[in-house]
Copies of this chain bind each other. A is one copy, B any other.
Amino acid sequence: MSLITVGTMAFDAIETPFGKVDKIVGGSATYVAYAASNYVQPIYQISIIGNDFPAAEIDALKNRGVELEGVEVVPDKKSFFWSGKYHLDMNTRDTLVTDLNVLADFNPIVPEQYQGSPFLMLGNLMPKLQLSVINQMKTRPKLIVMDTMNFWMDIALDDLKEVLKKVDVLMVNDSEARQLSGEFSLVKAARVIMNMGPKYLIIKKGEHGALLFHEQHVFFAPALPLEEVFDPTGAGDTFAGGFIGYLAKTEDISFDNMKRAIIVGSALASFCVEKFGPDRMKELTKAEIDDRINQFVQLVNFDIDLV
């Protein structure tokens, strides 16, 4: 089994209450690849980088079964750069710098080798580019999952709505769900958004877990209560990668299996925040992941007799 992931590969500068890094590898496609490759290989990556992306990072991805034929290398430009500072609650952050660099010219091409892959993860990116990738697929993937953010709702809402018509699963956070739907209640918001196209909606609530909506059904996945959140950068992309990676591995896109996939995504995201950037994801073992999934099982496990 394989999956295609489209998104950014970038450098981040991050400041949290626990420390700072001036330049660390990041980007939505990077985090998706690290997370998903725990479950399925190859990962067919589509992205764009400049002349400054370290060979060691490329090798590290290749060693995890990440195919990079769809990653354009621009020899005379720098990679996308983002800098942000997190507040104490870690749920809010200020963007300090956004240098698009190579991203300004990004025109994703789906290589012939990638065609026929049944799972497509559209990482957070300009909606027009997400749409372009969908339209290049000769066979519609079995499952298209889309991440996005408030920024695109502000400046490219019409494009975003076009993509929404063509995807199966949308992932947004709670404030984005409210913005997109115009509804404060997440239950009402979910109904409005599912009418825009996606049959499944995942609303991410950070430390408060995530909700999965489908038709009249709703599933609530907790977040693991953590002693420390060191750096939340990439947690959402890691969640996405774990989610689609598990679905691709199990080849089951039922609602019940999506519940499991959300637990897997949550477990992986809980590791991501333990260190700066993707550092924790690089060293993660299967045994650690399974152990953490079991912690999630214990966290919400109860049986009840009605009395």
Chain A interface (Cβ < 8 Å from any Cβ of B): 39, 88-89, 184-188, 205, 208-209, 211, 218-222, 225-229, 246, 249-250, 256, 259-260, 263-264, 290, 293, 297, 299-307
How far, in angstroms, from A155 to B39 measured CA to CA in the complex? 54
- 20 residue pairs from A and B, CB less than 8 Å apart: A39-B307, A88-B184, A185-B226, A185-B227, A187-B227, A205-B208, A208-B209, A209-B220, A209-B222, A218-B225, A219-B302, A220-B222, A220-B299, A221-B302, A246-B307, A250-B307, A256-B302, A260-B304, A264-B304, A293-B306
Whether the pair A302, B218 counts as a contact (CB closer than 8 A) is no
Contacts of A300 in B (CB 8 A): 219-222, 300
Give the 9 A-B residue pairs with the shortest CB-CB distance, closest first: A208-B208, A220-B222, A259-B302, A260-B304, A300-B300, A290-B306, A187-B227, A220-B299, A187-B225
How far, in angstroms, from A228 to B186 measured CA to CA in the complex? 9
A221 CB to closest chain B CB (Å) equals 8
- Cβ-defined partner of A293 (8 Å) among B205, B246, B263, B304: B304
Q: Given A188-B227, A259-B301, A260-B303, output 15 extra A-B contacts at Cβ < 8 Å.
A: A39-B307, A185-B226, A185-B228, A208-B208, A209-B209, A218-B299, A219-B301, A220-B299, A250-B307, A256-B302, A260-B304, A263-B304, A290-B306, A293-B304, A293-B306
How far, in angstroms, from A263 to B8 measured CA to CA in the complex? 42
- Cβ-defined partner of A222 (8 Å) among B89, B222, B263, B290: B222
- Cβ-defined partner of A211 (8 Å) among B211, B225, B307: B225
Contacts of A250 in B (CB 8 A): 307
**CB-nearest residue of chain B to A220:** B222
How far, in angstroms, from A59 to B147 measured CA to CA in the complex? 56
Whether the pair B290, A225 counts as a contact (CB closer than 8 A) is no
Contacts of A260 in B (CB 8 A): 302-305
Contacts of A303 in B (CB 8 A): 260
How far, in angstroms, from A299 to B306 measured CA to CA in the complex? 16
A49 CB to closest chain B CB (Å) equals 32
How far, in angstroms, from A205 to B300 measured CA to CA in the complex? 15
**Max chain B C-beta neighbours (<10 A), residue from A218, A225, A290:** A225
Contacts of A249 in B (CB 8 A): 307
Contacts of A225 in B (CB 8 A): 186-187, 211, 218, 220
Contacts of A205 in B (CB 8 A): 208
Whether the pair A187, B226 counts as a contact (CB closer than 8 A) is yes
Whether the pair A297, B304 counts as a contact (CB closer than 8 A) is yes
**CB-nearest residue of chain B to A89:** B184
How far, in angstroms, from A249 to B185 measured CA to CA in the complex? 34
Contacts of A305 in B (CB 8 A): 260
**CB-nearest residue of chain B to A264:** B304
**Max chain B C-beta neighbours (<10 A), residue from A39, A89, A184:** A184
Contacts of A229 in B (CB 8 A): 185
How far, in angstroms, from A89 to B249 measured CA to CA in the complex? 39
